[in-house]
Amino acid sequence: MKLLSLEFFKCRRRKIVLVCAAVLAVELMWMLTFFTRQDEEDMQWGWMLLLYNLSMVDAIVLPLSVATLASRSCELEHRGSTWKLLETMAAPDSLYAAKLGWGALVLAALLSIRTGLFTGLGLAVGFPGPVPWGRLGLFTLVSWAVSMMAYALQQGLSLRFANQAAALVCGIAGSFLGILSMLFPPALTRCVPWGYYGLLALVGMNWDEMTRVTDFYWRWPQLTDIALLLVWGTAFLLLGRAMFLKKEV
Amino acid sequence: MNIIETDGLCKQYGAALRVSHLNLRVPEGSVYGFLGPNGAGKSTTLKMLLGLVRPTAGNIRVLGKSMDGANRLSVLRQVGSLIESPSYYGHLTGEENLRIVQTLRDVPEKDIREVLEIVRLEGQRDKKVAHYSLGMKQRLGLAAALLGYPKLLILDEPTNGLDPAGIQEMRELICGLPERFGMTVVVSSHLLSEIDQMADHVAIIREGELVFQDSLSALHSRSRHHLALRTTNNPVARLLMAEKEISCHEEEGYLILPILADEDAARLTVFFAERRLGLLRLEERQKSLEDIFLELTGKAASL
Q: For the segment B192-232, what is each residue's pLDDT rounded down to a tens digit?
A: 889 999 999 999 999 999 999 999 999 888 777 889 999 99
Contact B31, B200 (CB under 8 A): yes
Going from N- to C-terminal start, the domains of chain A cover 2-246
Q: Which residues of B233-256 are buried (b: 16+ CB within 10 A; e: fewer)?
A: ebeebbebbeeeebebeeeeebbe
In the structure, what pLDDT confidence band is assigned to residue B285 with cuts at 50, 70 and 90?
confident
Tell me the average pLDDT of chain B. Answer: 92
Average pLDDT over residues A125-136: 94
Q: Which fold has domain B2-217?
A: Rossmann fold (3.40.50)
CA distances (Å), A143 to each of A62, B141, B294, in order? 9, 42, 65
Helix B234-243 and helix B262-274: axis angle, to 10°?
120
Using the predicted structure, report yes or no on whether residue A139 has a pLDDT greater than 90.
yes
pLDDT at A214 > cutoff 70: yes
Mean pLDDT value of segment B252-280: 91
Q: Are A217 and A204 in contact (CB under 8 A)?
A: yes
Specify the DSSP element, H or E, that contains A103. helix A92-125
Q: Which B positions 81-100 lie with beta carbon below 8 A of chain A?
A: 81, 83-92, 96, 99-100
Instruction: Tell me the C-alpha distance between B4 and B153, whole Å.
Output: 11
CB-based contact B81 A85, cutoff 8 Å: yes
Confidence of residue A79 (pLDDT cuts 50, 70, 90): very high
Query: Is residue B303 predicted with pLDDT exceeding 70?
Result: no
Q: Do B91 and A249 touch (CB under 8 A)?
A: no
Strands B57-62 and B209-215: unpaired
| Beta carbons of A82 and B88 less than 8 Å apart | yes
Is the pLDDT reported for residue B301 higher than 60? no
Give strand pairing partners of B12. Answer: B17
Element containing residue B95 per DSSP (H, E):
helix B94-105
Cα separation, A170 vs A177, in Å, equals 10
Q: Going by DSSP bridges, is the β-strand pair B249-251/B254-258 parallel, antiparallel, or unpaired?
A: antiparallel
Which of A74, A89, A245, A247 is the mutation pick for testing B, counting most B CBs within 10 A? Answer: A89
Please name which of B30, B6, B46 lies closest in space to residue B199, comparing C-alpha atoms: B30
Q: At CA A65, angle to CA A62 and CA A69, rounded to 5?
A: 135
**DSSP string over B225-289:** EEEEEEES-HHHHHHHHHHTT---EEETTEEEEE---HHHHHHHHHHHHHTT--EEEEEEEE--H
As a whole number, mean pLDDT of residues B10-33 equals: 96
Mean pLDDT, residues A210-227: 91
Distance CA(A174)–CA(A183), nearest Å, equals 15
DSSP H/E element including B9 = strand B2-13
Query: What is the predicted pLDDT for the residue at B290?
Result: 80
Beta carbons of B89 and A10 less than 8 Å apart? yes
Residues A172 and A229: their CA atoms lie apart, in Å, by: 20
pLDDT tens figures, A92-123: 999 999 999 999 999 999 999 999 999 999 99
Residue spans of the domains in chain B: they are 2-217, 225-286
At B33 the pLDDT is 96
Query: Does residue B300 register a pLDDT over 80?
Result: no
Contacts of B19 in chain A (CB under 8 A): none
**Tell me: the pLDDT tens digits for B66-75?**
998 889 999 9
First and final CA of chain A: distance in angstroms?
Answer: 24
In angstroms, what separates the C-alpha of A155 from chain B's closest C-alpha?
Answer: 19
A84/B84 Cβ within 8 A = yes
Structure confidence at residue B66 (pLDDT): 94
> Which one, of B298, B146, B283, lies nearest residue B211 by Cα?
B298
End-to-end alpha carbon distance in chain B: 33
DSSP B87: P
Closest CA to A142 of A187, A107, A96: A107
CATH number of B225-286, picked from 3.40.50, 3.30.1490, 3.30.70, 1.10.15: 3.30.70
Phi, psi (deg, nearest 5) at residue A211? -90, -10
